[in-house]
């Protein structure tokens, strides 16, 4: 397997994990949650194809460990950037810059970084403000579906995890 040039920053909640299925303990930590159909397969396929994947997520580290470990996926991504640890949430640039640092990326690598997420205000605006390629996973009814700000408009739109790998392969070819 050869390593791809494209680097994928990937959101979790309502991108891969169905937030409606989350169960919490008395501390507000997610103890379990279901993945959207095809989400596990998409994450594994990205890994198998040689893409570098970093989860860039808002929430508590323990919640992500619980959910992704239960599905056998916690060690699939190449890194985790979690708002609880960073001290900011998306769209704050520190979330994305921490992922750059964790993966050893520099300013010149921005052209090959793609942020995939479900939230226009957080994932898409954060990526666009930093000059990254943005991909909106448009299927959750819980978040914005209209571009209220100019920087909320994504570069690409997908509607299911099964569309993730084909789009990433197409973007890889354009590099």
Dist. CA 86–CA 154, nearest whole Å: 25
How many structural domains comprise the chain? 1
Q: How far apart are the first and last CA of the chain?
A: 18
Range of the domain at 12: 7-16+35-61+75-174
In a domain, 68, yes or no: no
> Can you tell me whether residue 103 is helix, strand or coil?
helix
Q: What's 127's domain CATH number?
A: 3.40.50.1000
Query: What global pTM score does this model have?
Result: 0.95
Is 28 within the bounds of a domain?
Answer: no
Beta strands in the chain (DSSP E): 7-10, 23-24, 30-32, 52-57, 79-82, 113-117, 133-137, 156-158
Rounded-to-integer distance, Cα 64 and Cα 59, Å: 8
pLDDT of 2 reads 59
With bands split at pLDDT 50, 70 and 90, how would you rate the model's confidence at 146?
confident
> What is the per-residue pLDDT across 63-73, written as a single tens digit (0 to 9) for each?
999 999 999 99
User: How would residue 93 be classed by pLDDT, with cut points 50, 70 and 90?
Assistant: very high
- Judging by beta carbons within 10 Å of its beta carbon (0-12, 13-18, 19+), is residue 143 exposed, middle or buried? middle
Res 149: pLDDT? 87
Q: Please check whether residue 82 lies inside any domain of the structure.
A: yes
26 token code pair: 């008395």
Determine, yes or no, domain membership for 102: yes
Tens of pLDDT, residue by residue over 41-66, are 999 999 999 999 999 999 999 999 99
The answer to whether residue 43 is domain-embedded is yes
Query: For residue 71, which of 100, 46, 18, 34 has the smallest C-alpha distance?
Result: 34
Among 67, 53, 69, 62, residue whose Cα is nearest residue 4 = 53
Between CA 62 and CA 122 the distance in angstroms is: 21
Residues 132/151, Cβ–Cβ less than 8 Å: no
Place of tokens 């209209």: 146
Share of the chain above pLDDT 70, in %: 95
Residue 1 pLDDT > 60: no
Note whether residue 70 is domain-resident: no
Q: Is residue 170 part of a domain?
A: yes
Does residue 66 fall inside a structural domain? no
């Amino acid at each position: 397997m050869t390593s791809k040039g494209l680097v994928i920053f990937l959101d979790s909640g309502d991108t891969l994990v169905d937030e409606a299925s989350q169960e919490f303990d008395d501390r507000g930590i997610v103890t379990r949650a279901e993945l959207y159909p095809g989400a596990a397969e998409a994450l594994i396929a990205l890994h198998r194809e040689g893409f570098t994947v970093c989860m860039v997520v808002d929430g508590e580290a323990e919640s992500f460990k619980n959910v992704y470990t239960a599905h056998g996926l916690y060690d699939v991504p190449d890194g985790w950037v979690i708002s609880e640890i960073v001290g900011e949430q998306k769209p704050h640039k520190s979330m994305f810059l921490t992922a750059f640092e964790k993966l050893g990326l520099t300013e010149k690598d921005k052209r090959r970084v793609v942020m995939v997420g479900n939230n226009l205000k957080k994932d898409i605006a954060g990526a666009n403000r930093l000059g990254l390629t943005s991909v909106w996973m448009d299927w959750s009814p819980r978040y914005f579906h209209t571009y209220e700000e100019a920087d909320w408009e994504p570069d690409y739109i997908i509607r299911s995890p099964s569309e993730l790998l084909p789009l990433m392969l197409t973007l890889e070819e354009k590099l």
